[in-house]
Amino acid sequence: MTQFSDLKLDPKVLKAINEAGYTTPTPIQEQAIPHALEGRDVLGIAQTGTGKTASFTLPLITRLGRGRARARMPRSLVLAPTRELAAQVAENFDIYAKHTRLSKALLIGGVAFGEQDKLIDRGVDVLIATPGRLLDHFERGKLLLTGVEVMVVDEADRMLDMGFIPDIERIFGLTPFTRQTFFYSATMAPEIERVTNTFLSNPVRVEVARQATASETIAQELIQLSPTRRDAAAKAKRDALRAIIQAEGEKLENAIIFCNRKVEVDILAKSLIKHKYDAAPIHGDLDQSVRTRTLERFRNGELRLLIASDVAARGLDVPSVSHVFNFDLPSHPEDYVHRIGRTGRAGRSGKAVSLMVPADQKYLEAIETLVQKELPRGEAPASEAKPKRNKRAEAPKPEPKPEPEVTAKEPAEEAPAAQPEPSRPARERRAERGERARRDPRGAVVGMGDHVPDFLMREFRTA
């Protein structure tokens, strides 16, 4: 069995790996690192969680061991689709480069430009960024990419989903053609294949089998709901989710709840908070400081329920998560395995519960085709909202107070229907206007009131 010590990595890197408690590389690390150290371009096909971050971080640190960064000209560039994933790459770099003098900068949105400009001005060996923020710095004239020796594109399929491929192509054009490139994607869509054919030079293709099954330590369950109306599906799922959380009790230490849309993340978080649950949302529209603080609270055990979108959850690395809930079934079946893989890690047991309405049937079929088995069906506990409504419905209505006899009041009640008699001054004014109209041989002019200009009263001859 191959060990890290067999991969010709820098001794300082090997020391950091040993201190982190790793001895044996994962399949993608074992295949990619030797080619990367030879200077070859690497095209990696692998899912998140296969160890691919270390497969490019370790050879990157080894290669940059010699040399020195210049101001505003980073020596390497790592592109990630989300802030969380970029931050996770930065954490990996800190772990494996702690015995070296290499410097890094993290360029992500939601952070002031000033602090990032200072890091770039000092010169960095590794620049980790999201595409949008990187181009913002470049267009402000604060960054040059002509000194990039190694470029890494991580999660290219997510880049495609988020519309970043044009930005990636532009960034490739700003870097030297002599650079070494690591390109990682879970799938090879035609658009991604076109980019790799254009910008990679004779790459080594490293493919790790797609993870089609979840860990055996994860208990999976599917709850099928049948709301009476299509527009009531979201409310039915919220009621069922609260009932399940209540039924799990103390077994639910913490949980990640996945939604397909950011707006649904916010709605669900507000609903849970309203019902006195310890919950918070995390998605791409929130400020970076809020996202970082929320994630830290969840990691530290201060937050029990984290409601997340797929994009925001891509960089989540929380070792101990007791439950995962799919509030919405994912539209991509691979995301189902990725989501439930947030629990049951490192040999721990976990539970994954998915909620489904009839409109999700096609998503369920795609998931079951991928995992090659039928998801175990379960029944939702009685919703906590239903008994309350039943009690109110069954509660006897208070007897109405006896009404007084209406006979005497009927004339008084009909009185308002009659037109109120106008006041005396109003009658007098109308009488005066009528009297003037009778006295004036020309008659009253309708619409001009009491004051009519003389020129309107003149007679004109017509031929």
């909202």: which residue's tokens? 385
Backbone angles phi, psi at 371, to 5 degrees: -80, -5
Residue ranges of the chain with per-residue pLDDT less than 50: 385-388, 391, 393, 406-415
Neighbours of 418 (CB within 10 A): 7
Pick the CATH number of 218-387 from 3.40.50.300, 3.40.50.1370, 1.50.10.20, 3.90.1150.10: 3.40.50.300
**In Å, what is the CA distance from 61 to each residue of 35, 37, 294?**
15, 10, 30
**In Å, what is the CA distance from 56 to each residue of 32, 79, 132, 229, 306?**
8, 12, 22, 50, 30
Q: Are 256 and 269 in contact (CB under 8 A)?
A: no
Q: Are 42 and 36 in contact (CB under 8 A)?
A: yes
From-to residues of CATH 3.40.50.300 in the chain: 4-207, 218-387
Element (H, E) at 19: helix 11-19
Report the distance separating Cα 170 and Cα 139, nearest Å. Answer: 12
Token readout for 205 is 């293709």
Residue 333: its pLDDT value, please? 83
Report the distance separating Cα 432 and Cα 438, nearest Å. Answer: 10
Nearest CA to 173 out of 206, 141, 195, 205 is that of 195
Report the distance separating Cα 294 and Cα 318, nearest Å. Answer: 13
Q: How far apart are the first and last CA of the chain?
A: 119
Q: Are 113 and 140 in contact (CB under 8 A)?
A: yes
Strand 305-309: give its sheet, edge to edge.
279-282, 305-309, 255-259, 323-326, 350-356, 218-224, 377-378
Neighbours of 19 (CB within 10 A): 12
Report the distance separating Cα 14 and Cα 17, nearest Å. Answer: 5
Nearest CA to 4 out of 31, 28, 30 is that of 30
Q: Are 56 and 42 in contact (CB under 8 A)?
A: yes
Report the distance separating Cα 217 and Cα 222, nearest Å. Answer: 17
Report the distance separating Cα 305 and Cα 269, nearest Å. Answer: 9
Verdict on whether the full-model pTM lies above 0.75? no
Q: What residue type is assigned to position 283 of the chain?
A: H
Q: Are 82 and 158 in contact (CB under 8 A)?
A: yes
Report the distance separating Cα 206 and Cα 116, nearest Å. Answer: 34
Q: pLDDT per residue over 139-165, tens digit each? A: 999 999 999 999 999 988 888 878 899
Burial, 391: exposed, middle or buried (Cβ in 10 Å; 0-12, 13-18, 19+)?
Answer: exposed
Q: Are 25 and 33 in contact (CB under 8 A)?
A: yes
User: 3-state class of 131 per DSSP?
Assistant: helix
CATH topology of domain 4-207: Rossmann fold (3.40.50)
Residue 410: its pLDDT value, please? 47
Report the distance separating Cα 404 and Cα 350, nearest Å. Answer: 67
Token readout for 373 is 């088995």
Report the distance separating Cα 60 and Cα 74, nearest Å. Answer: 13
Partnered with residue 154 across adjacent β-strands are none
Residue 309: its pLDDT value, please? 86
Nearest CA to 378 out of 277, 243, 216, 261 is that of 243
Residue 120 region, left (φ>0) first, then alpha (ψ -120 to 50), else beta? alpha
